Amino acid sequence: MGRMSGKVVIITGAGTGVGQAAMVLFAKEGATVLGVSRTQVNLEQTLAQVEQAGGRGSILAADLSSDDACRHVVKTAIDRYGRIDCLVHSAGVGYSWAEKSPGTMGDVLNTSPQAWEEVMAINLDACFYMCRHVIPEFIRQGHGTIVNVSSISGYVGLAGAHTYTAAKAGMINLTRSLCVAYAAQGIRANCIAPGFIATPMVASVLNLFDDPAVADRITPMKRPGTALEMAYGCLYLASDESSYCNGTVLTIDGGTTARQ
């Protein structure tokens, strides 16, 4: 029996990175998974990995910066599987987004209102929308678990990427507030806070680890984390093993913030 046997889980951002690793891992642990992402071809690749591992699931392409799209995701999960036991919200953009949308990872003075709204919509609004639509299902069932993927940048200041850091900070305190508001109704809400992780989202800055001296200043472990290491953190918070964790921020950063 896997740690998620019999559970139905929505995993957003499932096309790449942490969301992809989580979808495959949760399926291996017995969950039926609905993977969501913007890009259909990436989702198909993730689903192929799930099926190769003997897992069960399906996929749905959606832009989660829209409230209507998030409503559709939750409805699709209910229509297909009859209930939802867990939401793992990993969808979001990071430094690599600036390659597609210049000006979105700057400091306040170099961020336009349009760039601010764009990143906030993807990184924070989507979290709000998904929680807004999944929580009524959890209340109806009398149970449910939310795991949001935030970042250590949500509580450590950076010289740039100010919209990103603000959104991740908002996600952390939204998660804590969900715990306070809904714990009595059988709902747990936690999040992980990754450090530097070797995923496409931060690919443009991973070359920092090529210099051992710089790598040591970033983290005592002198390497970036992996998507799978983050997925295991999500699995713990989603599983019954963490039944007394609520409002928790699980830092998984190789020791980066231990020096702060």
Spans of all domains in the chain: 8-251
Condensed to tens digits (0 to 9), the pLDDT of residues 24-68 reads: 999 999 999 999 999 999 999 999 999 999 999 999 999 999 999
The percent of residues in the chain predicted with pLDDT above 90, rounded, is: 89
205 pLDDT above the threshold of 80? no
Q: Is the pLDDT confidence value at 143 over 80?
A: yes
pLDDT over threshold 90, residue 254: yes
pLDDT band (50, 70, 90) for residue 119:
very high
pLDDT, tens only, 216-225: 888 999 999 9
Using CA of residue 172, residue 126, residue 34, residue 132, what is the dihedral sign? Answer: positive
Say if domain 8-251 classifies as CATH 3.40.50.720. Answer: yes
Average pLDDT value for residue range 201-205: 76
pLDDT digits (tens, 9 = 90+) for 159-195: 999 999 999 999 999 999 999 999 999 999 999 999 9
To the query of whether residue 81 is one of the catalytic residues in this protein, the response is no
Catalytic residue among 81, 95, 129, 164: 164
Neighbours of 110 (CB within 10 A): 11
The sign of the dihedral angle between the CA atoms of 226, 228, 232, 234 is positive
Which pLDDT belongs to residue 170?
Answer: 98
Say what the pLDDT of residue 235 is. 98
* Alpha-carbon gap, residue 76 to 73, rounded angstroms: 5
Question: pTM of the predicted model, to two decimals?
Answer: 0.96
Give Cβ neighbours of residue 257 (< 8 Å, ≥ 6 apart): 152, 155, 156, 195, 251
Q: What confidence category does residue 214 fall into, taking pLDDT thresholds of 50, 70 and 90?
A: confident
Lowest mean pLDDT of 108-117, 124-133, 196-205, name the range.
Answer: 196-205
Q: What angle do CA 60, 63, 64 make, to 5 degrees?
A: 95
The string of DSSP codes covering 172-221 is HHHHHHHHHHHGGGTEEEEEEEE-SB-SGGGGGGGGGGGSHHHHHHH-TT
